[in-house]
Every structure is written in structure tokens, then in C-alpha cells.
């Protein structure tokens, strides 16, 4: 990630303001929709415009700290995003921030532009910030940089649909520095997201400094990464000091954003128990975890541990002044409690019959403690499984069901359902996607989601606070990978939580979001172009194309925007290249390079290439190899678990490392070459461990067995095409190549690529399969 610049301070200096442009009297066609995201509540267009040039002044009421902060924020964004320097002053200027008590709601604002100037009015500080961010977008309506801007005359009246418009960042799994979080806050503000949920603790790391219990960060903030064979790498981790987090809280508040800290309990507690094993259940001291998923370590619910957590909360409350404290409550498998005589005795003394009731009792104790300190508990939807304090709020992640149930019981709810609002899901099946979950969630998928579930009764709708996107980081390792997962989906999240449902229009949105993508990139962010990049699909079987000497390729993008243009000479396409209108039928050998261009001729994504030569048609990359039918947990995982730089990523099925080369033309091929990657196996599966599919290995470390067809229960054994014994993980490199001849076979069978390595060994993935022809 490039260092985030331009938003912490304002470039000083006051230059002369250029004169406003005169309004035009001529009749003009209906103007195009303004490139604003999220779409405001109402926009009334006027005639004429007001020109803002370098050095323009921003007037704020004397002594109004909130207005001064909004003006500084506007100037900072416009300096980076447009290259113009704006000068906040106390006094008179054509661009004014004003207080207006008649504008109801802390986040509501009004923005007026005419030939004489610009006026941003609000009653609350956050309204002024939101008005400033709308103006920042109007001052950078295109990809031009450093030029004066003629802002069209208009009147905007705006307020949000939902009060909670959130984003969750997970530095517990992979730590990111405080500067990274500040950059996220800046860009949340740019699209009016207002809640940053920080997942500060988990099995793999404790990130909040607790001065009374220093071992939480001395021990709990660091872990040894898992190995894919050989010695593990050096310890990784980090934590935030209380002073750093206080600074972040203040930084966010100036941008209209509240921070909700999460201390996850009673499950996801392995880092805590590693630091203070006396607050675990069975008295052992585990290492800080490096396995993703569900691990067995729980907090002990005894009174001494409750007081221990209350001590932690005292320090947490002193740092985070917002109304909500998130206490997790998710994925707490109860096996340790079930096996503890002490916990069972405590349940009996409290008259509790189930471990879920024990969790509810613990959550209730801590919720009451928060209530005595004028704070509200919020937790994941598992907290609904027992009794729940009326003041507690629920974050519904397992679909919408938890939200419907919680609202019907009178609890406030935040919608955060997986997979749609889980931003660690991949955005396409292209092989250039970073690690994540493989349930592809496109920009369009997120935009279609409505945060008001249909099952909530109208009289309970007021309990829906809003929605939140979650960027869990088991697989998102680097800053750029986290940013790629968030942007531009944050813009879609902003629009579905701010704008009226009736105003939603995906084709219009993808057009309006283009300038925002440029703003984010100028701010140093990694922004995914998955929705706008060209994807390629071969029509029919590749073997048929090889035999016929003709291949037909369809081109498409996810987003309905622009014209796809392509070349066949190896050069990148331009706005003057041939426009794609129908699938291309070609003789094998050409390389198609394609990209979509908007009406102005601006390319919408990095051009992608597709080779149609015979060798390319006989090859399959990792993302072209679907999982075998036997598996059921698809992930895209990195080559190394704790890399400091982006590493190659591979699609796997965790429950059975088996994949399929579809319709292999073995009548054409005479050999097979496979590139193989060996990966760490850092997964906590809890009760799902029974779904792992073991295979009998006939050599010490297992084999890769290639068969013509996948085995079917009680069916005939498929013919073996090739077998490759796997090397010792302790000494072999974790990327290697194997080659073998193959017998000719008709019928284009699927090739089943099955690893039989022991479940105690690392995982394997096929990086690439290349069938070879005679004399190739």
C-alpha cells in the first residue's frame, strides 16, 4: 500500500478566488445524472454554474469547530482528488458552511449552488461533513486533474435511509497499522459510511492494549505462522496502543464516523487464554492460534473471569466513547464447557440446563455491566439462542433470519449477512483475484441486496438500524488485498444504506461510480476492477475446437457499462479498436486482448488477454479447475499464510483436495505436465472435522492420482491416467512440476486430479495442467 497522503492536514496558503462563471440563458438538453455516490435524496437542477478554481476560499462560522473540521476535510479531499487547493477561512467567501437548525437530523444537509456561490447547511456536525463530501464529488466529476471546475447550479436536500452504514475491518487475523485504518476512515467518509467496526480480538491475535493485563499484547498479539513444510517463519503480529486508538477515534469523529470495538467472547478466545490461561477452562496454555475457522478455546464463565473481562471493558470504554460495544458471541463450540466439572457445577448452581444458557448468562452479565456504564451491547446473531437483555442489539450474519427474529423480539438489528455482505468473498473467478472465500459476490450482487428484510413486520421496521459489510481477514493478508476486497463494493454498500430503495439503478450506479474509482486510486488505494474487466468463455468443448481448427470465444463484463473493444495483434486495445458485438470465431493461434471503454473513450479496467493457440487450449489454470463433487468448502488461499507481500493464490476445496480438468481431449494429447503448489493447512474445523475426506496413501506422503473420470460410489473404478508420489514436505520446495506420458483415449473424459496426502500433512493444489501434443 502506498502511504496515505493528503487527508491528515490541509495545505496552507490563501490564493485569489477566480470569478464565478455567468449563468447561460440558452436552452440545453436534459443534463446527465450527476456522478454522485450515494445518490442524494433529492436533486433539483438549476441554470448556470459556479466555477471553483485553485485557491478558492471556504468560509466557516467563527468558533464553529465542526464546520472548521468539515471545511478542512473538503479541502483535503479536493487537494488529492482534483489537485486544487482550497483555503478555509473565518469570514465571508462564496463557498460557505452554515448552521441551519431547521434541517432535522444530525446527518441531514442541504447543498445549494448558483452563479454566486455554494452553500452547505446542516444542523449537525455530521451533516456538514456529508455535505462537504458531496461537494468534493462535484469538484472532481471526471478524471481530469488540476483544472478549475464549473459546478452546475442545483439544490440538494439529503438525509440517510439508515442510521448504521458500516464497514468491519479485521486486524485480529492479519494486523494492519494504524495509518491503514486512518486511510479506510477517510474513504468511508467519502461515500458517507459512518460506522467502523474493529474486530480487535480473535484466536489469532489480541490487538487492544490493556494496561492492567499487559500479557494480552505481550503474548496474545504475536503468533508463529503455520508451515507448508520445513521450519515455520518468524513470529508475526502487532497491536494498537490506547493512545493510537484514541487518536483514531478523534480522527474518525471529525469525519462523521463512530468506531465500534469488538472483544469476541466466549469463543474465539485462544489468544486471550494463551496470555492468561487461568481464565481458560481446562487449565492448559495454548499457543496463540494460527488456524482459521472455529477453535475450541472458550473463556471460563466463573465470576473471577467475569471481573477480568469487566476490567478489560473499563479500559476499552475509556478509549471508545461510542454507544455500542461488540462482544461477539459467535461460533463458540461448547465442548470445553461440557468437559469441565467446574463449569457444569456452575451451571447447576445457576439452574441452567444447557451450555447455550450458560453463554446467555455470561453475555447478560457483561451486557448489564455495559448498561451501568451507559453503553449498549451488540453481538453476532448467536446471542439470540438464549435469553437476551432487551437493550442488546443483534448483528445478523447467518442470513436475514436472525434479524427477523431479533426485530420481532424487540431488539435493534444490523444486517450483515454472508455471503452477500462478506467482502472477503471473491469478486470473480478470474485467476488474478486475491485470496478469499470462493462464493463469488459481485458488485451487482451487493447492490441488489436490501437491508430491510421482507420478513420484518412493518411495526418492527424501526428496529433495523442498517447494514454493514465485513472484511474478515483470514485470507486477506496485505493492505492491498483488504482494499481490493472493500473498494468499490463500499460504494454499493453506501448507496443501499443511504439512498432510497426506489432510486436504486445498477446501470446508473456503475456509471456514476467511475469518478469515485479515480478518486480512490488517486488516494493510493488498491481498487478492484473485477466488475469492469473482460472475461472470456469458450463456446463448446476445447477438444472440438482443436479438431475443427476453429475456436469461438465470447467476451463479457459483469457491469453493464461501456463498449468492449479488442485486438488480435497482441497490442492493448484503444478506443479505436474493433468493437465486440458477437462471439469471435477464430483459427487457433491468436491472442485476444480486450477491455471496455466508456463513451468518452476512457478504459474501465486493465485489459485482459486470452490466448487461443493449441497449447493454450490444452491448458487449464487453477481457477479453471472446479472442485470434485466430493468436497463442500471452497476457498481461495495464499501460497504462504503470513506473507508481507501479495503471494500467489489457489482455489481449493478444503474437505477434499481434488479438482477436475473438464473434457480433456486425450485423443489429441500424448503427455501431461502439472504444476503443483503445497500450502499450509491452518484450519480449525471444530465439529466439521468429520467432513474431511481421507484417502489411503500408498507412499509415505501420498500421491497425486489422475484418473479419466472421478470415482462414483459403488461405480466402476475409473482408469488411471498417471500417478505422482508426493515429496517429503520437510525438504521439498512448495512449488514443483511433474510430467508423464498419457495414453490416447476418446470421448473427452473429465480428468480427476486427486491428492491422497495424509490429513496431517500440508494441503496441495494444482496450479496448472498442460496437456501436450506429440512433438510439442
Mean pLDDT of 638-661: 89
Is 31's pLDDT higher than 90? no
Confidence of residue 506 (pLDDT cuts 50, 70, 90): very high
Locate the domains of the chain by residue range: 42-158, 164-522, 535-613, 620-772
Q: Range with the lowest mean pLDDT among 215-224, 455-464, 533-542, 704-713?
A: 704-713
Is 644's pLDDT higher than 80? no
Mean pLDDT of 507-513: 97
- Say what the pLDDT of residue 714 is: 81
| Segment 96-152, tens digit of pLDDT | 999 999 999 999 999 999 999 999 999 999 999 999 999 999 999 998 999 999 999
- Say what the pLDDT of residue 19 is: 33
Lookup: cell for 398? 447467518
- CATH fold of 42-158, please? Chitobiase; domain 2 (3.30.379)
- Architecture per CATH, domain 164-522, reads as Alpha-Beta Barrel (3.20)
Cα–Cα distance, 101 to 14 (Å, whole number): 30
Percent of the chain clearing pLDDT 70 (strictly above): 96
- Say what the pLDDT of residue 640 is: 85
Q: Range with the lowest mean pLDDT among 20-34, 221-235, 249-263, 734-748?
A: 20-34
CA distances from 146 to 14, 54, 83 (A): 17, 8, 4
- CATH fold of 535-613, please? Immunoglobulin-like (2.60.40)
Mean pLDDT of 719-732: 97
Mean pLDDT of 217-233: 94
Mean pLDDT of 309-315: 98
**Do the domains 164-522 and 42-158 match in fold?**
no
Mean pLDDT of 265-288: 98
Instruction: Say if CB 704 and CB 726 are below 8 A apart.
Output: yes
- Say what the pLDDT of residue 12 is: 33
- Say what the pLDDT of residue 30 is: 64
Confidence of residue 667 (pLDDT cuts 50, 70, 90): very high
CA distances from 215 to 246, 254, 271, 652 (A): 21, 33, 10, 37
Q: Which of 340, 343, 354, 386 is nearest to 367 (CA)?
A: 386
Cα–Cα distance, 269 to 280 (Å, whole number): 9
| Segment 44-74, tens digit of pLDDT | 999 999 999 999 999 999 999 999 999 999 9
- Say what the pLDDT of residue 29 is: 62
Mean pLDDT of 587-613: 96
Q: Which of 264, 233, 335 is nearest to 644 (CA)?
A: 233
Give the torsion through C-alpha atoms of 298, 301, 305, 309, to 10 deg.
Answer: 70
- Say what the pLDDT of residue 230 is: 86
Lookup: cell for 647? 503471494
Is 23's pLDDT higher than 70? no
- Say what the pLDDT of residue 315 is: 98
- Say what the pLDDT of residue 390 is: 86
- CATH fold of 620-772, please? Jelly Rolls (2.60.120)
Is 382's pLDDT higher than 50? yes
DSSP 8-class letter at 371 = H
Q: Tell me the CB-side half-sphere exposure of residue 639, using CA atoms within 13 A.
A: 15
- E strands along 308-357, which residues? 324-328
Confidence of residue 775 (pLDDT cuts 50, 70, 90): confident
Cα–Cα distance, 295 to 471 (Å, whole number): 20
Q: In what order do the strands lie in the sheet with 649-653?
A: 436-437, 634-638, 649-653
Instruction: Say if CB 316 and CB 322 are below 8 A apart.
Output: no
- Say what the pLDDT of residue 715 is: 83
Is 5's pLDDT higher than 60? no
Instruction: Say if CB 518 and CB 83 are below 8 A apart.
Output: no
Instruction: Say if CB 312 and CB 373 are below 8 A apart.
Output: no
Give the count of beta carbons closer than 10 Å to the beta carbon of residue 91: 9
Cα–Cα distance, 471 to 160 (Å, whole number): 23
CA distances from 753 to 592, 656, 674 (A): 29, 11, 10
Q: Please give the helix or strand (H or E) that residue 79 lies within, else none.
A: helix 65-81
Cα–Cα distance, 169 to 261 (Å, whole number): 10
Name the phi and psi angles at 611, rounded to 5.
-90, 140
Instruction: Say if CB 556 and CB 534 are below 8 A apart.
Output: yes
- Say what the pLDDT of residue 641 is: 75
Mean pLDDT of 379-399: 92
Per the prediction, the chain carries an average pLDDT of 94
Instruction: Say if CB 106 and CB 158 are below 8 A apart.
Output: no
Cα–Cα distance, 13 to 17 (Å, whole number): 12
Q: Which of 637, 685, 265 is nearest to 424 (CA)?
A: 637
Q: Which of 228, 168, 726, 80 is nearest to 395 (CA)?
A: 168
Cα–Cα distance, 382 to 398 (Å, whole number): 9
Taking the CA atoms of the chain, what radius of gyration do you get in angstroms? Answer: 29
Q: Is 152 helix (H, G, I), strand (E, B) or coil?
A: strand
- Say what the pLDDT of residue 629 is: 85
- Say what the pLDDT of residue 231 is: 87
Instruction: Say if CB 215 and CB 152 are below 8 A apart.
Output: no
β-bridge partners, 87: 57
CA distances from 190 to 132, 256, 471, 517 (A): 9, 10, 18, 11
Angle (nearest 5°) at CA 540 between 535 and 546: 100
The residues assigned a catalytic role are 331
Amino acid at each position: 500500500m502506498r502511504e496515505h497522503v493528503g487527508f491528515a492536514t490541509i495545505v496552507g496558503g490563501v490564493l485569489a478566488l477566480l470569478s464565478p462563471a455567468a449563468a447561460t440563458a440558452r436552452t440545453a438538453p436534459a443534463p446527465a445524472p450527476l456522478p454522485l455516490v450515494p445518490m442524494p435524496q433529492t436533486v433539483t437542477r438549476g441554470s448556470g454554474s459556479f466555477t471553483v478554481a485553485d485557491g478558492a476560499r471556504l468560509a466557516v462560522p467563527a468558533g464553529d469547530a465542526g464546520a472548521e473540521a468539515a471545511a478542512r476535510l473538503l479541502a483535503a479531499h479536493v487537494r488529492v482528488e482534483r489537485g486544487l487547493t482550497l483555503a478555509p477561512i473565518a469570514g465571508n467567501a462564496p463557498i460557505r458552511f452554515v448552521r441551519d437548525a431547521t434541517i432535522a437530523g444530525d446527518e441531514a444537509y442541504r447543498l445549494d449552488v448558483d452563479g454566486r456561490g455554494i452553500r452547505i447547511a446542516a444542523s449537525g456536525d455530521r451533516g456538514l461533513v456529508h455535505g462537504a463530501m458531496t461537494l468534493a464529488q462535484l469538484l472532481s466529476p471526471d478524471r481530469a486533474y488540476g483544472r478549475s471546475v464549473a459546478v452546475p447550479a442545483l439544490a440538494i436536500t439529503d438525509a440517510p435511509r439508515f442510521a448504521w452504514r458500516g464497514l468491519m475491518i479485521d486486524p485480529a487475523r492479519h494486523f494492519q497499522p494504524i495509518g491503514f485504518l486512518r486511510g479506510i476512515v477517510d474513504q468511508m467518509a467519502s461515500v458517507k459510511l459512518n460506522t467502523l467496526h474493529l474486530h480487535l480480538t480473535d484466536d489469532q491475535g489480541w490487538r487492544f492494549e490493556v494496561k492492567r493485563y499487559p500479557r494480552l499484547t505481550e503474548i496474545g498479539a504475536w503468533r508463529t505462522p503455520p508451515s507448508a513444510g520445513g521450519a515455520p517463519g518468524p513470529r508475526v503480529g502487532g497491536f494498537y496502543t490506547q493512545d493510537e486508538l484514541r487518536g483514531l477515534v478523534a480522527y474518525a469523529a471529525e469525519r462523521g464516523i463512530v468506531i465500534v470495538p469488538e472483544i469476541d467472547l466466549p469463543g474465539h478466545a485462544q489468544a486471550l487464554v494463551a496470555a492468561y490461561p487461568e481464565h481458560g477452562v481446562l487449565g492448559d496454555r495454548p499457543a496463540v492460534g494460527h488456524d482459521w475457522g472455529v477453535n475450541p478455546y472458550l473463556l471460563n464463565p466463573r465470576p473471577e473471569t467475569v471481573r477480568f473481562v469487566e476490567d478489560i471493558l473499563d479500559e476499552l470504554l475509556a478509549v471508545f466513547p461510542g454507544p455500542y460495544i461488540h462482544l461477539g458471541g459467535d461460533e463458540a463450540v461448547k465442548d470445553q464447557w461440557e468437559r469441565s466439572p467446574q463449569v457444569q457445577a456452575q451451571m447447576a448452581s445457576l439452574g441452567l440446563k444447557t451450555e447455550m444458557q450458560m453463554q446467555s448468562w455470561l453475555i447478560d452479565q457483561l451486557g448489564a455491566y455495559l448498561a451501568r456504564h451507559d453503553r449498549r451491547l451488540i453481538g453476532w446473531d448467536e446471542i439470540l439462542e438464549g435469553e437476551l437483555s432487551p437493550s442488546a442489539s443483534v448483528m445478523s450474519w447467518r442470513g436475514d433470519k436472525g434479524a427477523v427474529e431479533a426485530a420481532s423480539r424487540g431488539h435493534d438489528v444490523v444486517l450483515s449477512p454472508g455471503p452477500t455482505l462478506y467482502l472477503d468473498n471473491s469478486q470473480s473467478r478470474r485467476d488474478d483475484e486475491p485470496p478469499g472465500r470462493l462464493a463469488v459476490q459481485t458488485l451487482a450482487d451487493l447492490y441488489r441486496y436490501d437491508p430491510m428484510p421482507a420478513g420484518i413486520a412493518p411495526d418492527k421496521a424501526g428496529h433495523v438500524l442498517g447494514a454493514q459489510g465485513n472484511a474478515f481477514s483470514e485470507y486477506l493478508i496485505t493492505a492491498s488485498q483488504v482494499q481490493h476486497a472493500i473498494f468499490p463494493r463500499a460504494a454499493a454498500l453506501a448507496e443501499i444504506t443511504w439512498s432510497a430503495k426506489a432510486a436504486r439503478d445498477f446501470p446508473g450506479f456503475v456509471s456514476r461510480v467511475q469518478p469515485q474509482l479515480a478518486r480512490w486510486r488517486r488516494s493510493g488505494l488498491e481498487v478492484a476492477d473485477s466488475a469492469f474487466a473482460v472475461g472470456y468463455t469458450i463456446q463448446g468443448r476445447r477438444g472440438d475446437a482443436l479438431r475443427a481448427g476453429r475456436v469461438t470465444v465470447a467476451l463479457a463484463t459483469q457491469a453493464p457499462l461501456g463498449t468492449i473493444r479488442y485486438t488480435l495483434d497482441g497490442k492493448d486495445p484503444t478506443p479505436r479498436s474493433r468493437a465486440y458485438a458477437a462471439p469471435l470465431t477464430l483459427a487457433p493461434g491468436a491472442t485476444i486482448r480486450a477491455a471496455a471503454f466508456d463513451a468518452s473513450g476512457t478504459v474501465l479496467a486493465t485489459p485482459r488477454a486470452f490466448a487461443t493457440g493449441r497449447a493454450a487450449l490444452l491448458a487449464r489454470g487453477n481457477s479453471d479447475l472446479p472442485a470434485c463433487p466430493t468436497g463442500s468448502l471452497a476457498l481461495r488461499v495464499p501460497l504462504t499464510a503470513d506473507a508481507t507481500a501479495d503471494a500467489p493464490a489457489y482455489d481449493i476445496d478444503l474437505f477434499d483436495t481434488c479438482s477436475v480438468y473438464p473434457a480433456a481431449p486425450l485423443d489429441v494429447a500424448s503427455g501431461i505436465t502439472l504444476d503443483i503448489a503445497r500450502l499450509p493447512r491452518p484450519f480449525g474445523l471444530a465439529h466439521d472435522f468429520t467432513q474431511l475426506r481421507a484417502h489411503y496413501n500408498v507412499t509415505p506422503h501420498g500421491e497425486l492420482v489422475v484418473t479419466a473420470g472421478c470415482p462414483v460410489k459403488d461405480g466402476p473404478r475409473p482408469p488411471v491416467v498417471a500417478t505422482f508420489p508426493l515429496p517429503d514436505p520437510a525438504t521439498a520446495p512448495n512449488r514443483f512440476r511433474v510430467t508423464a506420458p498419457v495414453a490416447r483415449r476418446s470421448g473427452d473424459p473429465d480428468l480427476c486430479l486427486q491428492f491422497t496426502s495424509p490429513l496431517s500433512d500440508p494441503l496441495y493444489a494444482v496450479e496448472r495442467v498442460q496437456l501436450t501434443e506429440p512433438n510439442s
